[in-house]
Chain A
Amino acid sequence: DTGVSQDPRHKITKRGQNVTFRCDPISEHNRLYWYRQTLGQGPEFLTYFQNEAQLEKSRLLSDRFSAERPKGSFSTLEIQRTEQGDSAMYLCASSSSTSGYNEQFFGPGTRLTVL
């Protein structure tokens, strides 16, 4: 059983550049979540997809952030005009809606450093 994978694992970029991250969820999972985690804090919810529909976005998700899940499988998270405050670990999680609110399985994360 393949878990959640994320690519790249690390990204270093200069302020003002655009970056894109990819998440491949567990294949039979229809729910996909993006979170952001800064040092010493718990993950904070960014956005949620059920199949290909983006159903919820946190107020943390500024206009510079956009996420897609075009075919209800993998998802991408793009950050435009990166700022130093965007430096964080970006986590993807997936779950199944077959029975209640099942546990979310997390990927290894993409660590973003904005110089």
Chain B
Amino acid sequence: AQKVTQAQTEISVVEKEDVTLDCVYETRDTTYYLFWYKQPPSGELVFLIRRNSFDEQNEISGRYSWNFQKSTSSFNFTITASQVVDSAVYFCALITHSGGGADGLTFGKGTHLIIQP
């Protein structure tokens, strides 16, 4: 069985601050995929990034960056120079190869990010 833990239930920062959302995962599989999704107030989940277990390179996309460390089973997400539009609930998720994709994504409970103007 797999598990995703997002220990930060809610984070509130002032606009333009940097913020890091933590994600710790558990799985016995050696092949797996990690994802981050954003759920704005409108409710629709928006895909942000996918990373497979064999690719530990960090990734940067504009103000977003991700740090994947297999040694600590973490896949953290940093927003640089946060903006009010970044306010949302962010979910980290995992899917394993052994299930053939059939067991769906395992999500964390999410981190509610509030960016104050």
Partners in one complex: yes
Question: Which A positions have Cβ atoms within 8 angstroms of B?
Answer: 31, 33, 35, 40-46, 48, 50, 55-56, 58, 89, 91, 93, 95, 97, 100-109
Q: How far is the CB of B30 from chain A (nearest CB, A)?
A: 14
Tell me if B104 and A103 are in contact (CB < 8 A). no
**Min C-beta distance of A32 to chain B, whole Å:** 11
Q: Which 7 A-B pairs have the closest CB atoms?
A: A42-B107, A45-B104, A56-B102, A106-B45, A103-B47, A101-B33, A55-B102
B43-A89 in contact (CB<8A)? yes
Q: Which of B35, B42, B91, B101 contacts A31, CB < 8 Å?
A: B101
Q: Give min CB distance, B88 to chain A, whole Å.
A: 13
Q: In the assembled complex, which residues on chain B have CB atoms less than 8 Å from the CB atom of A105?
A: 47
A104-B102 contact in complex given A43-B45, A89-B43, C-beta closer than 8 Å? no
By the criterion CB–CB under 8 Å, are B103 and A43 in contact?
Answer: no
Distance A42 CA – B102 CA, assembled complex (angstroms): 18
- Where the two chains meet, the residues of B that have a C-beta atom closer than 8 Å to any C-beta of A are 4, 33, 35, 37, 42-47, 50, 52, 91, 93, 95, 97, 99-110
A97 to B101: give the CA distance in the assembly, Å. 9
B85 CB, nearest partner CB in chain A, Å: 19
Given contacts A55-B102, A56-B103, A104-B105, is CB(A42)–CB(B44) below 8 Å?
no
8 A–B contacts from the bound complex (CB under 8 Å): A35-B105, A41-B110, A42-B107, A48-B103, A89-B43, A95-B101, A103-B47, A109-B43
Interchain nearest-CB distance for A3 vs B (Å): 9
Residues from chain B with a CB closer than 8 A to the CB of A97 are 101
Query: Contact: B104 with A42, CB < 8 Å?
Result: no
A105 to B50, CA, bound (A): 12
Are the CB atoms of B106 and A45 closer together than 8 Å? yes
